[in-house]
Amino acid sequence: QIDIQGVTEDYEEVANLKMDAGDFLDDKDQFVAVLGSEVAYEKFDKKISVKNPIEITFRREDGGVVSQKFIVKGIIQNPNTVFVQTGVEPEIRIFIPINTMNRMLGKDDYGGFFIKASSLDTVRDTANDIDYRLARTLGVSARELENDDTKPYVMFDQLDALEQTNQVSAALTSLLTSVALISLIVGSIGIMNIMLVSVTERTREIGLMKSLGYTRKDILTLFLTESIILSLIGGIGGTVLGIGVAFIANYFLDLPNIFPLKQIITGFTVSVIVGLVAGIYPANKAASMDPVEAFRHE
């Protein structure tokens, strides 16, 4: 069972659809259909191409069933994103002319309509104006107009979806930021412990370096560099693992792969800072060693 929508030719622009093959509907069309990519390539026994015939069975409001052959006029490109403007995923639907659909179903009306505002700034004003005009046309009182539950129609605008998306995004950002901070703290402690073990195991080596003329600055630089390199190795490993997991997740969720270079560079910069901070105490401990005491260390 596939969802079928009757639409006008303007739907292509309003829904910002892109065609993978063929063309979208024209208001003069009758028994032609435009298929979503998933419907065309996965829902039938074989892949459907433009100009192929398909048979659609409709269930009328009076309970009757009627079948009709349609010619495929076009196939919609997979947008890889949920259709926020209307809450519709076009890749899983079949679109036919609205007049043809009404004739097949034995009715003459519209179940809904979509309006595209001239800009994002005018969305709310446009929605309010349409709300007022609909209420006046349908005889909705001013009191009912203020209560969405009592209206004989439902309105949804893009800003509502954007607000919901922003709320979810903010919550996820807070969660991921907390996880990242905890990971940074744990990682820095781990690097510091590794460097402390390294300093302890190389005590005699440090004493030898000091006796050969290495300055406090030289030893500080040596151990801080090692700490930063250790942190960078972890950063590279984490980045590769993260991108790999993201690729797999995007493949199964059918989402586009977007990896901003700025965020990756920021991650490496943070790795350097974490390595630098975590290495300060071990490096300072190594640089402060007395060479005589260092040679006595077993």
pLDDT value at residue 84:
44
Q: How many CA atoms lie within 13 A of 149 on its CB side?
A: 0
Measured in degrees and rounded to the nearest 5, phi and psi for residue 74 equal -160, 165
User: What digits encode the pLDDT tens for the residues 117-131?
Assistant: 777 778 788 888 888
Whole-angstrom distance, CA of residue 257 vs CA of residue 269 = 23
The b-or-e profile of 27-44 (16+ CB within 10 A means b, else e) is eebeebbbbbbbbbbeee
What residue type is 162 in one-letter code?
A: L
Rg for the chain (alpha carbons), in Å?
32
User: What digits encode the pLDDT tens for the residues 234-271?
Assistant: 888 888 888 888 889 878 876 777 777 888 888 888 88
